[in-house]
Structure 1
């Protein structure tokens, strides 16, 4: 009888071991499928699984390029004519560009740029400077002026002229 008891316990241990191995395999499979599903859902693609490599190359080419800014420290101050009266305009500016070479060129040619910008500001109408549309127009004219100066010097163009402070009185 002792032999019968030993033979009955051995198959029960073998069945439990098989059950544990199958549970571990199912858990590992669930984890792998979860990771693969997450990567697919997030659009990361899976290398070597037939992912579209052409789209990844195009996305890398269209990467985000942050803008850099250079403030013009001294204010542009000039007189503006308004119905026979003399008014004053004071403007603090900053230049924006995605190419750092354009900003370094603007700093190099800053005396010429300031001179041209003062003339643009002085030729503006006082009533136009009081409206948001007039200020946007002034910013566009200033951008055109700055880019013309940089083009004459053979330098890259800036992206935008920004007002840091704008006072008319």
Structure 2
């Protein structure tokens, strides 16, 4: 759960990361604090307006995927292929 930018609103979300290989999940576990930090920074920079549309949510998923692959020093062919939201609540 994070506070959204310039709004006083919060976002609660759950995500699943689909990796190119089984090793991707293990690599993400090893750097979990860095992953959590990156997610907090990315999510808290969003505004409610940017997340109300399907396009906004898809763009957010792509930014998260790119950030995770940068942490892993991988690309989408060998690292995180997809970020899937399994819960997405703004209040």
> Structure 1-normalised TM-score?
0.49
Q: Is the 8 A contact 1:96 1:161 kept in 2?
A: yes
Cα deviations by residue, 1:56-76 (Å, 9 ceiling, x for unpaired): xxxxxxxxxxxxxxxxxxxxx
Cα deviations by residue, 1:19-71 (Å, 9 ceiling, x for unpaired): xxxxxxxxxxxxxxxxxxxxxxxxxxxxxxxxxxxxxxxxxxxxxxxxxxxxx
Considering only aligned residues, what root-mean-square deviation do their CA atoms show, in Å?
1.4
Give the number of equivalent residue pairs: 88
Which residue among 80, 85, 88 is the counterpart of 1:163? Answer: 85
> How far apart, in 2, do the equivalents of 1:95 and 1:110 lie?
13
Which residue among 58, 63, 66 is the counterpart of 1:141? Answer: 63
Partner of 1:131: 53
Structure 1, unaligned runs of 5 or more: 1-76
Structure 2 matches for 1:9-28, cutoff 5 A?
none
Tell whether 2:6 aligns with 1:79. no
> How far apart, in 2, do the equivalents of 1:106 and 1:81 lie?
27
RCO greater where, 1 or 2, for CA within 8 Å and sep 6 or more? 2
Q: By how many angstroms is 1:105 displaced?
A: 0.3
Change in Cα spacing, 1:141 to 1:121, as seen in structure 2 (3 Å) is: same
Partner of 1:113: 35
Q: By how many angstroms is 1:163 displaced?
A: 0.5
Q: Is the 8 A contact 1:130 1:168 kept in 2?
A: no
> Structure 2-normalised TM-score?
0.89
Structure 2, unaligned runs of 5 or more: none
Q: By how many angstroms is 1:98 displaced?
A: 2.9
Moved segments of 4+, more than 2 Å = none
Structure with the bigger percentage of helix:
1
> How far apart, in 2, do the equivalents of 1:80 and 1:89 lie?
7
